[in-house]
Structure 1
């Protein structure tokens, strides 16, 4: 296998690309900025800098929604741009391994394959990998044996709950709760309690800094627009109010983990009890989530070392190591 091989994890908020040539993972915002409906103005992190600040003639959008491709044309453009960047502008024939959610329709799964084929990256070989399996591998879990493993990936739009065993997925459930729902909850409580409208970026920053703020015993300082006066203002928001706003979303994830465990064969449940729950994904590190899940299901929670990149790291292992080759399959083998 040549060095022009890439592992791609398409997330709603971020795209993660493993490059075999550099043995590294690149993470960029999965965003595109289009001016006057035709000209690409920016993409990735550059487009995110413009998000919520652009005039009406510039549309900034996420081509993925709820874990599936919502805007195929823009996603094709982004894939080609990101791969071209990885190859320093000289696009050559490539092999691509792409992570695909398990709990989506066959049409949605095949859309991932067609995306790479039609994106203009000169793909010689397109292999698909079940996302939860790559996730487990990226966290250092032995996905090849008969041991039951519970992996919970909390992403931007969705949370994928999976039971793994013997190179495959025994049970999988995709729910529409993730980092975006956490952000919405923060915005809603600040609007209700302080009559203040804040942007998505602000709520995301609050969410990600919550742990540090609590450790320092400080409030979250936010800037937004006062609903009553319409003027820009600064407010201090108590962290315990933010904590309370997140509980409902945390409990939705918890309830679905419980429902998944109720369907798990007893022998695998015994393995899960011994090994605990593996928690990963970009939104998995939000303050108090791991503890609430642990308390709710009575399991130890193993936090991923690289939660945002664990799937891409797993794809890298499949690309590099022959013992994991069987975990990748072509679209013709898809069932």
Structure 2
């Protein structure tokens, strides 16, 4: 009815934008970064190219992330970014697409409207807004239309969305502003406090990916990190271990586990027993942090499963949402 590839799902994330096209799968995955010339207000680069400029630009060029903690912080730049990514994903097409965009479960109506308006301005024919946990569950292959409780923990860049889903809807949910970005910030703070070393967010992310852990590793990993010595002001290289990252991330991961615990406490008993049988499903880039599943499992006593491709789960689920609505009419 809508023609090949005219249904698009967009995971408009704080860290990455992922575009899924019906019939083609995930066609684009780029960082949510835009480089702008302040003097001319012109967009110089978007995505990976702009990310490489973070912390490395001259005064008149700024590399900014227009989404903060799952919410649009710069409307104009978000609109330009969306326009660029939609055009890049679709190529030359005359027909305007039908786009489904996901938002964190805790956003307000005003914030939802901002996402909707930006998507229309970027060239959508019709816009559907879906909450992140629902999209993550569909993308992870969970049949959410049944009267069975499923718990999804989607750890993104700016927010972590935790929800118990049954019969196509959210029964209990929470959205906390503790996620991948907070892990990076915790590492930056730790390096400053413990080693008097100033590092950028890109270096912090590299540490998180290579030696970061939420739970004590059986073997200790280490890597060399370069930064600026805060005492001498000169470049300095130090060695960081996985044990140090566990210590640096302890507060942030404890807050996340506490949020999972509070959602379980509010879950109706029948659904709670379903979750105890089926386990908790982890999605989102933050779930790739080593030991995250072990930490949640230890603190809750419930089996934790990480989705097959946690990074693209939300985008795939967002793209399949239109099909889900068609197959389960009246469930929206």
TM bucket, shorter chain: over 0.9
Equivalent of 1:58, from 58, 61, 68?
61
For residue 22 of structure 2, what is the aligned residue in structure 1?
A: 20
Match of 1:29 among 28, 31, 39: 31
Correspondence 1:91-110 to 2 at 5 A: 92-110=95-113
1:227 CA drift (Å): 0.9
CA distance in 1, matches of 2:249, 2:287: 13
Q: Which runs of 5+ in 1 are unaligned?
A: 330-335
Pairwise CA RMSD: 2.0
1:135-154 paired onto structure 2 within 5 Å: 135-154=136-155
Q: Partner residue of 1:124?
A: 125
Residues 312-331 of structure 1: CA deviation (Å, up to 9, x unaligned) = 111233345675464896xx
Aligned residue for 2:52, secondary structure, equals helix
Taking the aligned partners of 1:240 and 1:125, their CA distance within structure 2 comes to 49
Q: How many residues align?
A: 326
For the 8 Å contact 2:18–2:315, the answer to whether it is kept is yes
TM-score, length-scaled by structure 2: 0.93
Runs of at least 5 residues in structure 2 that lack an aligned partner in the other structure: none
Query: Would the alpha carbon gap of residues 319 and 11 (structure 1) be closer, same or farther in structure 2, given more than 3 Å must change?
Result: same
Q: Check conservation: 2:220, 2:241, Cα contact below 8 A.
A: no
Contact map agreement 1:145 1:165 (CA 8 A) in 2: yes
**Selected match of 2:297 from 289, 294, 302:** 294
TM-score by length of 1: 0.92
1:45-194 alignment to 2 at 5 Å?
45-90=48-93, 92-119=95-122, 121=123, 123-194=124-195
Q: How does 1:129-278 map to 2 (within 5 A)?
A: 129-210=130-211, 217-278=220-281
Q: Secondary structure at the match of 1:287?
A: coil
- Give distance in 2, aligned partners of 1:237 and 1:211: 10
Q: Is the 8 A contact 2:212 2:246 kept in 1?
A: no
Local SS of the residue matching 1:240: helix
Further displaced range: 134-143 or 309-318:
309-318
What is the CA–CA distance in structure 1 between the aligned matches of 2:240 and 2:212, rounded to whole Å?
Answer: 14
* Residues 44, 256 of structure 1: alpha-carbon distance in 2 compared, 3 angstrom cutoff: same
